[in-house]
């Protein structure tokens, strides 16, 4: 399968590398020239707990190098989703599907506005990765990936993409309820990302301290009340225990929000805890803990890089 990945950060590189190792034709599209050059010259180095491996996806900064793809995966930050969706238009053939595995709420809808809802597959992943430098990432933790058609139901293309990812070592389940998937991942991110960004802790360290466990639980419980008000059935039973389990499963991972703060970049807070606050306002559910977490991250974004976690 010819696969184009828009956004070759930690997660885009992880998925691109694993898919290339499985024999798929993979193109990574990114604006970071040094990263692209390193991948093309030396391959993509993936550091993992058991061993280090080198994958050889193709990488480019030029959209026109790729041509059309059978599958486009969007892995940019939520702040760049609309632009990535416009980029995806140049990669579309008659049957191209566009998959989003991004953090946050509203990405699938933004992509659908550009490429059409019928092409969009949304998903969530518990994989964790950290960008170490040009051409180098660390695979920080594994977990299931779930994907579903934006319009619901199970289709042949959904099963084909799930099988392709699974062959690449990314265990993937085709699901018929995408809203549940997105809310389920949103609540995981609500519990982990802002708290790691504020404290500077790795994911697994959140579960080691009573204080961070308590804040995590408060944020997640608020999010569950909003999901209930929206009529969403979550894909797991005990949300707080689920979020803690994900934190432990990705113990060595520095969350994307922490990586952004450390790197002096803007975060996706408005698409995560901020989105939860807005949905709470929409349904009349108070979200004071998530409002505070949102405001603290936005305050940290204004600090010089050397003063951030």
Report the catalytic residues: 185
* SS3 assignment, position 209: coil
User: Helix, strand, or coil here: 55?
Assistant: strand
Q: CA nearest 295: which of 282, 307, 277, 308?
A: 277
Q: Considering only CA atoms, which of 204, 242, 232, 225 is closest in space to residue 288? A: 225
Q: Which of 156, 169, 119, 181 is nearest to 16 (CA)?
A: 169
Q: Compute the distance between CA of residue 258 and CA of residue 262 in angstroms, rounded to an integer.
A: 6
User: Which runs of consecutive H residues, i.e. helices, occur in 142-272?
Assistant: 156-167, 178-199, 210-229, 239-249, 256-262
Q: What is the layout of strands, in order, in the sheet containing 44-47? A: 52-55, 44-47, 136-141, 128-133
DSSP 92-148: EEEEEEEEE--SSSSHHHHHHHHH-GGGEEEEEE--EEEEEETTEEEEEE---EEEE
Length of the chain equals 309
**Phi, psi (deg, nearest 5) at residue 69:** -125, 155
Q: How far is CA 190 from CA 48, 243, 247, 291, in A?
A: 26, 9, 12, 11
């Amino acid at each position: 399968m010819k696969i184009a990945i828009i956004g070759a950060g930690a997660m885009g590189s992880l998925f691109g590398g694993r898919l290339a190792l499985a024999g798929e034709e993979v193109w990574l599209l990114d604006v970071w020239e040094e990263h692209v050059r390193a991948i093309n010259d030396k391959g993509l180095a993936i550091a993992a707990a058991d061993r280090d491996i080198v994958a050889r996806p193709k990488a480019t900064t030029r959209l026109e190098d790729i041509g059309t793809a059978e599958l486009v995966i969007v892995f940019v930050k939520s702040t760049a989703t609309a632009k990535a969706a416009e980029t995806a238009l140049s990669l579309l053939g008659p049957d191209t599907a566009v998959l989003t595995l991004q953090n946050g709420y509203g990405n699938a809808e933004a992509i659908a506005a550009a490429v059409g809802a019928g092409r969009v597959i949304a998903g969530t992943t518990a994989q964790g990765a950290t960008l170490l430098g040009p051409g180098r990432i660390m695979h920080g933790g594994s977990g299931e990936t779930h994907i579903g058609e934006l319009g619901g139901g199970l289709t042949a293309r959904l099963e084909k993409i799930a099988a392709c990812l699974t062959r690449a070592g990314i265990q993937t389940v085709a699901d018929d309820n995408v809203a549940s998937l997105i809310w389920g991942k949103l609540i995981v991110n609500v519990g982990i990302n802002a708290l790691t960004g504020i404290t500077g802790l790795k994911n697994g360290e959140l579960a080691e301290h009573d204080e961070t466990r308590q804040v995590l639980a408060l944020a997640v419980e608020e999010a569950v009340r909003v999901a209930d008000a929206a009529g969403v059935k979550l894909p797991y039973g005990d949300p707080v225990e689920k979020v803690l389990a994900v934190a432990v499963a990705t113990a060595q991972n520095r969350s994307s929000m922490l990586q952004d703060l450390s790197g002096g970049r803007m975060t996706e807070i408005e698409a995560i805890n901020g989105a939860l606050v807005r949905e709470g306002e929409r349904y009349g559910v108070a979200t004071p803990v998530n409002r505070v977490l949102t405001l603290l991250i936005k305050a940290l974004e204004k600090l010089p890089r050397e003063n951030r976690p």
